[in-house]
Amino acid sequence: MPRWPATAELIAWEQRSRRQGSGITPTQLRGCWRLDAVWNRQAQPLTSQAAGLRLLQAQLRLSPASSTADALLLTNSVRVGWLGLRFLGHGTLQGRRPLLRFSFETLELTLGERVLWRQRLAATPERQAPFFALIAAGDDAEGRWLLARGRGGGLALWRAQALGPPART
30 Cβ partners below 8 Å, 6+ apart?
A: 62, 63, 64, 72
1 assigned to some structural domain: no
169 assigned to some structural domain: no
pLDDT at 148: 95
CA distances from 13 to 17, 140, 144 (A): 6, 16, 16
Cα of first residue to Cα of last residue in the chain, in angstroms, is: 35
97 assigned to some structural domain: yes
46 assigned to some structural domain: yes
81 assigned to some structural domain: yes
81-124 pLDDT per residue, tens: 999 999 999 999 998 889 999 999 999 999 999 999 999 999 98
More confident residue, 94 or 4: 94
Q: Indicate whether 169 pLDDT > 60.
A: no
Q: What is the CATH number for 55?
A: 2.40.128
Range of the domain at 83: 7-63+72-161
2 assigned to some structural domain: no
Q: Where are the beta strands (DSSP E) in 23-140?
A: 31-39, 59-64, 71-80, 83-94, 99-111, 114-120, 131-140
Q: Measure the CA–CA gap between 165 and 149, rounded to whole angstroms.
A: 27
Q: Measure the CA–CA gap between 77 and 166, rounded to whole angstroms.
A: 13
14-72 pLDDT per residue, tens: 999 999 999 999 889 999 999 988 898 888 888 777 778 778 888 999 998 876 777 89
pTM: 0.84
110 assigned to some structural domain: yes
Task: Domain count for the chain, please give it.
Answer: 1
143-161 pLDDT per residue, tens: 899 999 999 999 999 999 8
96 assigned to some structural domain: yes
pLDDT at 164: 53
